[in-house]
Structure 1
């Protein structure tokens, strides 16, 4: 299988992975139309796998993980395997790497562990080292955006909502459509209070409606919500749309997310305390639309309180956003 065939097979497996299953059904790798005994799979987090039968554990140290590229010992049913893994965002590079592994194991008859270790080490210069862990502040903000994607935009529009998530693109608002924008702010404060960091952040373009989502979180080691759980939930919701998953993973990559965070003590867990959505209108606290920074002042930050503002009904918000699909 060439790189294009490997990528197509992973995308098909992703679409066919049963809900709730950790690993998709597997597809046998062919090499010049011969079955190799190697298998492809996709896991619940969207990561790509190449599994090769082995006689036992490796007799040398495995290479360190690099930005999601991992080599592990695993089992597939009753078979002992080596498990080569990569995030979906790197599928093109991973497919080329796997092509070398398949050729060396099946075409040249080399030992699977020796092949995988050697080739992974030789490719490590092409993979960026592990990223710095995401800060608390980054995780809190991204949790808010992914929560809104999961509970509002995906139910309303399906997998197309992924393309309206503009937070990773550093746009003015976190979700952008032709008719409705949404700005999302998450906080661990006990009140719906948020810091605004752009003069134009609470201004909608002409002819468009702006919603403001306020997410209250409580940080807790026993929390059921984290970036990892939200990412998995979104991937499960869009698992039948390979292009949407690719777009989603690419956006996460742009936000400094790495699958290494799943195993990191820096991953923060939360309880979701409250979610409220507001209309940004004349009553909403914001700077005047014609406000200009004084000469020499380059930026401004200010804090708003949403106490006593009317809250939108979630069902009405869903209905309004759903109507975008038919307008």
Structure 2
């Protein structure tokens, strides 16, 4: 986390341990960042929920925006330091999302420091990061989903070490046929529990290369272990190179991971035993639409999936140098 996010957390912790209240009875900790109408502050409401107080011009109304379920945004007049001020008050109603709220607060304050009006800064930050506050799923995350995400994040970490904009190449969470794509080049990632394991291909177009381009299949062999790579540690590694990434965070949310530090998503960890790769081209063992008459899947066949044993495709195996070359092809599409 950034130093500002750490400070935000520390302030809320201090407030919860007992702090001086305003005349309105609101536990508050004033920051040094001003909006032109007063200093911003962090607070707790009567239910102990974390809040951001943004001073605004008198008469400012609540901004018109679609507020995520776990956030509340309102306008209020509060007394502090002996005078009444108008504020926009942002509340995180789910304490389990306080970490994501701190990220949102940082985004708002950063924009305010750069000269953006407080109301505009808030709207922009919520539009960028609001998906982090969608309703949480009550059911435990399936181990296979965590394993698959860890495999993709390991590949994304490699790509981000090459180019800080690499999160824009990640399409795994959305309904695109390949997990990573840049221009006409793609990488499809599959996880395996063994270095010689089979992988599941979930559609007839998953091993179809982009038109005029190239496709590699990467198998990431993951062994469960204590103290290994987790969703949280991998996201931290990626954002060490990319900075705070709205693309990465929105991709995680699309998978149901609203907070990469959530305990449920980090209850298992892995050691990456190996990453093997194959070039997918004519002759590679696969089921694709072009293998059928007229290049289409026969009518009535829905949801085609199959297991592939890459051991039968040794002629198509590529080494680390060619894997890096494919990374460079994808990265070349980035600005």
What TM-score does the superposition give when structure 1 sets the normalisation length? 0.63
1:13-28 residue pairs with structure 2 within 5 A? 17=2, 23=6, 28=32
Unpaired segments of 5 or more residues in structure 1? 1-13, 39-50, 64-70, 72-81, 85-89
Which residue number corresponds to residue 233 of structure 1?
237
| Offset at residue 313 of structure 1 (A) | 2.4
Partner of 1:134: 141
C-alpha distance in 2 between matches for 1:198 and 1:147: 23
2:184 corresponds in structure 1 to: 179
RMSD value, Cα: 4.2
CA distance in structure 1 between the aligned counterparts of 2:176 and 2:191, rounded to whole angstroms: 17
Larger radius of gyration: 2
1:215 to 215, 220, 228: 220
Which of 155, 159, 174 aligns to 2:161? It is 155
Q: Confirm whether residue 191 of structure 1 aligns to residue 196 of structure 2.
A: yes
Q: Distance in 2 between matches of 1:205 and 1:323?
A: 13
Q: Which runs of 4+ in 1 moved over 3 A?
A: 21-27, 31-36, 60-63, 90-94, 96-101, 103-110, 118-124, 126-129, 292-295, 323-327
Aligned mates of 2:224, 2:92 — CA distance in 1: 38
Q: In the alignment, which residue of structure 1 is the partner of 2:322?
A: 316
C-alpha distance in 1 between matches for 2:174 and 2:220:
21
Q: 2:38 aligns with which of 29, 34, 59?
A: 34
CA gap of 1:213–1:290, structure 2 versus 1, over 3 A, is same
> Aligned in 2, Cα 1:136/1:104: closer, same or farther, shift over 3 Å?
farther
Deviations 1:199-239 (Å, cap 9, x if unpaired)?
1111113211001110111123x141111111121122111
The CA deviation at 1:174 is 0.6
Match of 2:25 in 1: none
Q: Tell me the CA shift for residue 135 of structure 1.
A: 1.4
Contact 1:197-1:300 at 8 Å conserved across structures: yes
Shift of 1:281: 2.3
Number of residue-to-residue matches in the alignment: 255
The answer to whether the Cα contact below 8 Å between 1:261 and 1:267 also exists between their aligned partners in 2 is: no
Q: Which residue of 2 aligns with 1:165?
A: 170
Alignment TM-score, normalising by the size of structure 2: 0.62
- Say if 2:48 is the partner of 1:62: yes
Distance (Å, rounded) in 2 between the aligned partners of 1:226 and 1:254? 18
The CA deviation string for residues 80-103 of structure 1, in whole angstroms up to 9 with x for no partner, is xx899xxxxx99869x857858x6
Distance 1:122 1:215 in 2: 35
- Superimposed CA distance per residue, residues 240-295 of structure 1 (whole angstroms, 9 cap, x where no aligned partner): xx5xx112211211111122762238732112111112111234221253235443
Question: Alignment partner of 2:151: what SS?
Answer: helix
Aligned equivalents of 1:121, 1:34: Cα separation in 2: 25
Does the CA-based 8 Å contact 1:134-1:257 persist in structure 2? no
Q: Partners of 2:325 and 2:7 in 1: how far apart?
A: 34
Quick one: distance in 2 between partners of 1:227 and 1:109? 46
Instruction: Output aligned runs, 1:88-107, within 5 Å.
Output: 104=78, 106=80
**Residue 67 of structure 1 aligns with which residue?**
none
CA distance in structure 2 between the aligned counterparts of 1:265 and 1:253, rounded to whole angstroms: 12
Alignment correspondent of 2:206: 201
